[in-house]
Structure 1
Amino acid sequence: MVEIVTVGMLLIMAGGVFSGFPVALVLTGTGILGFFAAAMMGLTDFQHLGLYYLRVRGTLTNEGVQFTSVPLLILLGMVLNGSGIASTIFHTLGHMLRGLRGRYAIATLLVGLILAPAAGVIGASVITVALVAYHPMLNAGYSPRAAGGAVAASGALGVIFPPAIMLFFVATLFRLRISVMYMSMVIPVLLLVILFSIYFIATIRAKDDGGPIPEGTEKPQYLSMIAALAVIASIPWSIVSGVATLSEAAGIGVFGSLLLVAVRGQLSLAMLHNAIMRTGTLTAMVFFIVVGATVFSLSFHLVGGPDVLFSWITGFNLNRWQTLGLLLGLVLVLGFVFDWMEILLVFLPIFLPIFQQLDFSDHVGSAYAATVWLGALIALTLQTSFLTPPFGYALFFAKMTAPPSVVLADIYRGAIPLVILEVVLLVLVVLFPTLVIWLPKVSLNLSQLSL
């Protein structure tokens, strides 16, 4: 009976999501249907109905989670996106990298990192980069394959670079301090940028790429770029240094971004109205999904779904490394068809008991360090899924804003070598946990991260 309800809930949820029905409603409805079906079969009791109110209220008011930072981080990204700062940063970086082959592709990668607060919504991140980067790359003689791959990779990179919103949810899932999660991702992402940059330098042969800046190109604005970097860097810095909580740091970032836009003379009621409206829409979507995922997760636990999945996976008699590979593979496949928010809030809580059974403390150094390492692997795997053909989200958004000369097949061909480099980095992080653990250990002086 438990297996029937478990499979039924998963099938209904998957069918509802694929049908295009709002995910939050699908999760809430499936959770309620699953509960009533289980209660009628005697698997749970109707007296547990009150738990839904307590669980949802507890999730949204949990002081340790600090959901109040989410709308602030989204607003920061919307202000940076709507003020033209992305274009200024791109052309300034292009000027700084003149004489280097692949300079526009590398500048595209760096813009994706700088606009990391907007990368919580990967569509906004990719589209912002695409609007400022496609034409300079194609005008410089880049192939559609190279330009499309660079845009898609840039949008996907910012998803896991501090202070990207996705890292907040990963930290919440694994019950980690957000400062630890932020610091753990810095070295892997920078290594990925280096690998991508070396690839672009080695493979791009554009006629105008290494020459002088073309006439009519936006002039470099170093002060604006430095100011934007300072505003964004203030968020992880203030958290790591203990000056501010996540919510307070996000507020500092929003204030700094508005001040920067005002100094540039670009602060207007129209721009502010558009940023606030988009922030409200995205924030409502986030919290609606959080509520739906909470309802579904509670129902799934009440009917014994996690125990069923655990018995299925352990039935393969896999060792811990094979189980880890299987789980990361499932996350990669889920990333083809689901947004990261749905994966982190719906699917990973189901797999979490299995992750908790995997003891890698001897490989990483301690139980806490192993948790940080697993969180980083999940984030890197999700980021890889966004770039993997044929269903990667970043690929479709890169095509959505591409000129007619760039077709989806070009973007696929440009992304495949980059995905291979992503897999190489994942293997390195698996083999050498120090890549994830060293920086938070040194910067935060945490004894739990001893190697």
Structure 2
Amino acid sequence: MEYISLLMFVVVCAVLLLGFPVAYSLAGTALIFAGVGVMTGGFESAYLHALPSRLYGIVTNQTLIAVPLFVFMGVVLEKSKVAENLLNAMTQLFGQYRGGLAISVILVGALLAASTGIVGATVVTMGLLSLPTMLKQGYAPSFATGSICATGTLGQIIPPSIALVLLGDVLSSAYQKAQLNMGIFSPESVSVGDLFVGAIVPGMILVSLYLLYVVMVTWFQPHKVPKVAPQASNVSIPQLLNALLPPLVLIFLVLGAILGGFATPTEAAGVGATGALVLALIQKQLSLTKLKEVMLNTTKVTSMVFLILIGASIFSLVFRGYGGEELIEQLFNSLPGGVFTAVLLVMVVIFVLGFILDFIEITFVVVPLVAPVLLAMGIDPIWLGIMIAVNLQTSFLTPPFGFALFYLRGVAPKSVKTTDIYKGVLPFIAIQIMLLIAMAKWPNLVTWLPENLYG
């Protein structure tokens, strides 16, 4: 009956392509297949009896409390003009150099990624604030839009990232399952904090490669970049500090608490949410109306995440009931090349699915199916999590369905063609693929810092 699990996966992808809501598509497809299986005797109803306890485990998962708190922090910062102040200060600081505004966009985007961790909010904010100015100053539309889209996706990999929070929870369950399947009873697990630490070096490398690409464009394709911003001027130290200190202090409080072992990611998320409110209050950007908007947006995003998680949990349970996990294990073990081929296949599948699915669906549907098998093959869970995160980040940029492209297209001027956006992101996709290859070749890029920080 294993082939039914594959059929179920194909059907749910087809239903999603028809435009039905993700959570309902996952749960509905799974329950229909389970119902037919129970009536025909091909599916054990005991799996459905385990469903209430699994759903209860989701809603009582303390790690996932970090999701609404990080979303709340990001939305507050989005509405408190932190990005606008940062961009103005950075533009004045680097605007006197060729390509200075593009450099400013990347640096500000990296800081926003470390502050908010929300890709859509970063892309839209940077698109509204910087794209009109870049076009006015003579930047090539493809170069300007590519820089903004790529920078916006840094929120996937630079901690604190919502994607890493969700991946950490999924990989923790997968690691424990892999240990049990191997007959190992160990209290060790994979924490969100481990993924945060493992993502720091790859995130810094990615930002550095983006900056290097901008510098190379200014040297070898100067027609894409204006010489000097007309209104560039030296920024005063107080103005620069006023723009930089608020997000840097918040980043230090959140990540410092996690890296120093003073707080769990969930507790640090509470600190971040409170700190964002304090910053908004100090900058006089907090009102009752804005607070209501923040709470409403946070509730919407959190509800979407948890509803998808519930639907994906139902799907994975029925998939397991039809023997899908055994089928995947047999497939991976029979592949020539062993672990390398198995990881490569998973990375390719995730990359392709990223064309049509959001990172949340992939994290909740695909990762729980393949991660236990890969971890049982001896793969480091932190390395696997960061590889998946960077891969998902790449899928955000890939034409024609990359979500970051749609976000920017929605706020870009009509003079910017969609083909310009597609052309602009191609070099950044190549950079991210280079990072994936580098992490595959040298896993220490991911594992060195967690091993030395925590021993």
**TM-score of the two chains, using structure 2 as the length reference:** 0.89
Give, as a single letter, the amino acid of the residue that structure 1 aligns with 2:400. P
TM superposition shift of 1:41: 3.2
Contact 1:77 1:117 in 2 (8 A): no
TM superposition shift of 1:211: 6.0
Partner of 1:49: 48
- Partner SS state of residue 68, structure 1: helix
Partner of 1:264: 283
Contact 1:184 1:437 in 2 (8 A): yes
TM superposition shift of 1:120: 4.9
Partner of 1:81: 78
Partner of 1:36: 35
TM superposition shift of 1:70: 0.9
Partner of 2:182: none
Contact 2:146 2:424 in 1 (8 A): yes
Give, as a single letter, the amino acid of the residue that structure 1 aligns with 2:283. R
Partner of 2:208: 194
Contact 2:91 2:101 in 1 (8 A): yes
Distance 1:131 1:197 in 2: 21
Partner of 2:185: none
Give, as a single letter, the amino acid of the residue that structure 1 aligns with 2:130. A
Give, as a single letter, the amino acid of the residue that structure 1 aligns with 2:199. M
1:276-291 matches, within 5 Å, as 276-291=295-310
Partner of 1:60: 59
- Check if 1:436 corresponds to 2:435: no
Higher alpha-carbon deviation: 275-284 or 398-407: 398-407
Higher alpha-carbon deviation: 105-114 or 412-421: 105-114
1:297-376 matches, within 5 Å, as 297-360=316-379, 370-376=380-386
- Check if 1:203 corresponds to 2:212: no
Give, as a single letter, the amino acid of the residue that structure 1 aligns with 2:195. M
Contact 2:117 2:160 in 1 (8 A): no
Partner of 1:366: none
Contact 1:2 1:43 in 2 (8 A): no
Q: Deviations over 1:275-301 (max 9, x none)?
A: 111111111101111111111111111
- Check if 1:412 corresponds to 2:429: no
Give, as a single letter, the amino acid of the residue that structure 2 aligns with 1:2. E
Partner of 2:249: 230
TM superposition shift of 1:264: 1.0
- Check if 1:445 corresponds to 2:444: no
Distance 2:165 2:66 in 1: 9
TM superposition shift of 1:113: 2.1
Partner of 1:24: 23
TM superposition shift of 1:427: 1.1
Give, as a single letter, the amino acid of the residue that structure 2 aligns with 1:431. K
Contact 1:148 1:399 in 2 (8 A): no
- Check if 1:391 corresponds to 2:401: yes
Give, as a single letter, the amino acid of the residue that structure 2 aligns with 1:21. F
Distance 1:260 1:289 in 2: 32
Distance 1:220 1:95 in 2: 10
Distance 1:330 1:61, change over 3 A: same
Distance 2:283 2:376 in 1: 53
Partner of 1:110: 107
1:236-247 matches, within 5 Å, as 236-247=255-266
**Structure 2 alignment gaps of length 5 or more:** 173-189
Distance 2:331 2:303 in 1: 36
Give, as a single letter, the amino acid of the residue that structure 2 aligns with 1:353. P
TM superposition shift of 1:239: 1.3
Contact 2:387 2:436 in 1 (8 A): yes
Partner of 2:232: 213
Q: Deviations over 1:160-197 (max 9, x none)?
A: 11001101111112222222111111111111111111
Distance 1:117 1:202, change over 3 A: closer
Partner of 2:186: none
Distance 1:358 1:38, change over 3 A: same
> Given the alignment, which residue of 138, 142, 161 partners 1:141?
138
Distance 2:97 2:155 in 1: 23
Distance 1:246 1:281, change over 3 A: same
TM superposition shift of 1:313: 4.6
Q: Deviations over 1:329-361 (max 9, x none)?
A: 11111111100000000111111233124335x
Distance 1:240 1:286 in 2: 26
Partner of 1:164: 161
- Partner SS state of residue 21, structure 1: coil
> Given the alignment, which residue of 385, 392, 398 partners 1:382?
392
Give, as a single letter, the amino acid of the residue that structure 2 aligns with 1:445. Y
Give, as a single letter, the amino acid of the residue that structure 2 aligns with 1:410. D
- Partner SS state of residue 354, structure 2: helix
Aligned residues: 430
TM superposition shift of 1:101: 2.6
Give, as a single letter, the amino acid of the residue that structure 2 aligns with 1:24. A
TM superposition shift of 1:36: 1.7
Contact 1:167 1:182 in 2 (8 A): yes
**TM-score of the two chains, using structure 1 as the length reference:** 0.90
- Partner SS state of residue 359, structure 1: coil
Distance 1:286 1:392, change over 3 A: same
Distance 1:184 1:314 in 2: 28
Distance 1:224 1:93 in 2: 9
Partner of 1:367: none
Distance 2:140 2:18 in 1: 36
Contact 2:66 2:165 in 1 (8 A): no
